[in-house]
Structure 1
Amino acid sequence: MIARVLEQMKAISQVLTGDRHARSLIPTWQDAEVLESIHKALHPLSEFTDALSGEEYVSISYLKPVLHLLATSVLAEDAEDTDLTRSIKTKVLAYLNDKYSDLNTQELLDVASFMDPRFKTQYISADNLPAIKARLKTEMVESARRTHNQEKRSRTETAQNSPSAQASWGKAKKTLGSLFKTSAASSALPLPLEDVVEAELNSYLLTPVIDGEDDPLAWWKVHNIHFPRLCKMARKYLCVPATSAPSERLFSTGGNIVTCTRSSLKPAKVDMLVFLAKNL
């Protein structure tokens, strides 16, 4: 709005000049200076806000880099800034620092940035990096053990519920290849799960970062075979939206569906209609 007023300042003055009852509303140079100061401080924030409010791409991992960019560049004081511009920048930075000062929130943002192959450890403090790695290792080990237990339980139930083919047709003959396979398997000791997770994490850190315009989800889809346990962590953290804008859009969609003339819709039907509206 302010940008539009500044753009049309000359036209606005000419229109108001032609009406003697509205001449007092003609913007003065002081008004223009105030608008320019506000515009200079807030205009860059609108671009970042629009980018972080999207829902068709990963946004949570952008927060840490964006906060760093705002503090070091966009909202940093400039020698040409007016007092009003400096005041706005200072208050905005103070608000952002207070909003994201919670330790749990900071840790979440660090983990999300770590799981994004565009950033990894670039925006994570060196003091916080060991804690982030330890958290991911613990979650990867727990997830792997849960998956192993579920698969083991599923195999047991399948074996109990279905008759064995060997029991029906007799004992199957062994091949020479099966004997060598058994020998090789018995001689190779499996690595502890903690060591496997550590190796996978270190291997991920050694891979080069990708371009900032690339899709991190597409990267994880390709490298899922190399980092199967870490890929689960990427799905867990990178799906978090950076802002509440997606949920607010969902509320607006629900408001457009449940109108005064459709107030008797059942909750299940509303869920179906909202789902179709957002996914078709």
Structure 2
Amino acid sequence: MDRAIKVCKRVVSAFSYIWKKKRQLKKVQTDLDLPTHSLITSCDTRSGSTQKMITRFFEQENAIKQVLLLDRKGSSLQPSWQDLNVVEAVNKAVEPIIYFTDALSGENHVNISMMMPVLQLLNDDILAPKPDDVALTIEIKSKILNYLNDKYSDEKSTTRSLLDIASFLDPWFKNKFLYSAEDESTQIKISGELIE
């Protein structure tokens, strides 16, 4: 998986640094009636930039292939079909959770009470295996879910208790996302806090 993403980064870097390739890409984009977007580079410190790079890469895939075929030296940058399949599987697994990442990590409006409802939505719907998912996509989705569930679903942890209380007190969610045993213990904790 890392190799396929590195290949994608190499191709995008070539179009970023070599002005002739960038000019050829714009020309081919207009010939193919594609939007004349430049390619997006990935940055480790920017959240979601790798997924944006992959999405733009697939949007401009035909133009990229034509430009690389025109240049003898650029043919070594041409990604193989295996690389494209791996990158597409990664994109399919990661794309749905980008919106939740942005919503939960916002600077202006951060809401801890959204964490448990989002986790349940990811478990039940967004990251659930779909019939058209390939094996790699299913594996990536399950690893993401396992990581999130291990981190936030331990009933004895103080983090989980805090998340349950925040969701319970939020008028949007109340106790919709708590199981019956958790609901009672959360109500008891809140009652105890109010009495003190």
TM-score (norm 2): 0.69
Match for residue 112 of structure 1 among 158, 166, 175: 166
For 1:20, give the aligned amino acid.
R
Matched residues, number: 142
Partner residue in 1 for 2:86: 34
- In 2, distance between residues paired with 1:121 and 1:55? 26
Partner residue in 1 for 2:50: none
Q: Secondary structure at the match of 1:22?
A: helix
8 Å contact kept, 1:61–1:112 = yes
Moved more, 127-136 or 18-27: 18-27
Partner residue in 1 for 2:152: 100
Distance apart, 1:58 and its partner CA = 4.5
TM-score (norm 1): 0.49
Distance apart, 1:78 and its partner CA = 1.0
8 Å contact kept, 1:65–1:123 = yes
Confirm or deny that 1:61 pairs with 2:107: no
Matches within 5 A, 1:242-253: none
Distance apart, 1:24 and its partner CA = 2.4
Rg: which structure is higher? 1
Distance apart, 1:32 and its partner CA = 2.0
Distance apart, 1:122 and its partner CA = 0.3
For 1:96, give the aligned amino acid.
L
Distance apart, 1:92 and its partner CA = 0.6
Compare relative contact order (CA 8 Å, sep 6+) and give the higher one, 1 or 2.
1
For 2:172, give the aligned amino acid.
R
Cα offsets for 1:81-116 (capped at 9, x unmatched): 111101101111111111114422211111000111
8 Å contact kept, 1:77–1:89 = yes
Q: Secondary structure at the match of 1:105?
A: helix
- In 1, distance between residues paired with 2:160 and 2:82? 41
- In 1, distance between residues paired with 2:167 and 2:153? 17
CA RMSD, Structure 1 to Structure 2 (Å): 1.2
Confirm or deny that 1:50 pairs with 2:102: yes
For 1:111, give the aligned amino acid.
I
Cα offsets for 1:221-279 (capped at 9, x unmatched): xxxxxxxxxxxxxxxxxxxxxxxxxxxxxxxxxxxxxxxxxxxxxxxxxxxxxxxxxxx
Deviating above 4 A after TM superposition, structure 1's stretches of 4 or more consecutive aligned residues are none
Confirm or deny that 1:5 pairs with 2:57: yes
Calculate percent identity across the aligned residue pairs: 49
Partner residue in 2 for 1:90: 142
- In 2, distance between residues paired with 1:31 and 1:58? 37
Partner residue in 2 for 1:130: 184
- In 1, distance between residues paired with 2:144 and 2:181? 26
Q: Secondary structure at the match of 2:144?
A: helix
Moved more, 133-142 or 100-109: 100-109
Cα offsets for 1:143-198 (capped at 9, x unmatched): xxxxxxxxxxxxxxxxxxxxxxxxxxxxxxxxxxxxxxxxxxxxxxxxxxxxxxxx
8 Å contact kept, 1:60–1:112 = yes
For 2:171, give the aligned amino acid.
P
8 Å contact kept, 1:6–1:35 = no
For 1:141, give the aligned amino acid.
I
